[in-house]
């Protein structure tokens, strides 16, 4: 779960859905959009850059397929932009760097933890 920089949106990973809510600042969350990240996948973590670029770490239970998806939020809709299959047993985290130009993820298998960095093109 991650708030936008001005707290007007809340981005939530729930099971296999990425959901964005608007927040009125006092007591009401309103769902704006949601997308399924794929049947059988569970969202492990999300990160948001510039309130519109979202990276989702997702995986399958007891599988060696961890995937990182990139989405764009245009204020009303979530749009899938790209994805990377990480061929790892699990994922420990995913983060944009401070200017959004890189995404780092920590993945693991039975014996190793590896940090990978990918360029975002931003």
Instruction: Please report the pLDDT score of residue 100 as a whole number.
Output: 94
Alpha-carbon distance 119 to 122, whole Å? 8
Please state the pTM of the whole predicted model. 0.88
- Label residue 78 by pLDDT band (50, 70, 90): very high
**Residue 33 within a domain:** yes
- Label residue 50 by pLDDT band (50, 70, 90): very high
Q: Whole domain around residue 34: which residue ranges?
A: 2-88
**Residue 13 within a domain:** yes
**Residue 105 within a domain:** no
* CB proximity list for 97: less than 8 A, separation 6 or greater: 103, 104
Closest CA to 38 of 10, 57, 20, 21: 57
What are phi and psi for residue 76, nearest 5 degrees? -135, -25
Domain count, the chain: 1
**Residue 118 within a domain:** no
Res. 88: pLDDT tops 90 = no
């Amino acid at each position: 779960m991650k708030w936008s920089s001005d707290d007007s949106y809340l981005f939530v990973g729930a099971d296999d859905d990425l959901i964005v809510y608007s927040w009125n600042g006092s007591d009401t969350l309103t769902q704006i959009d949601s997308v399924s990240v794929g049947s059988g996948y569970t969202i492990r973590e999300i990160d948001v850059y510039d309130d519109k670029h979202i990276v989702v770490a997702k995986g399958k239970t007891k599988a060696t397929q961890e995937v990182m998806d990139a989405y764009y939020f245009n204020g009303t809709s979530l749009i899938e932009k790209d994805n990377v299959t990480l061929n790892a047993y699990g994922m420990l985290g995913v983060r944009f760097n401070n200017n959004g130009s890189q995404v780092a993820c920590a993945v693991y298998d039975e014996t190793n933890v590896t940090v990978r960095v990918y360029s975002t093109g931003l």
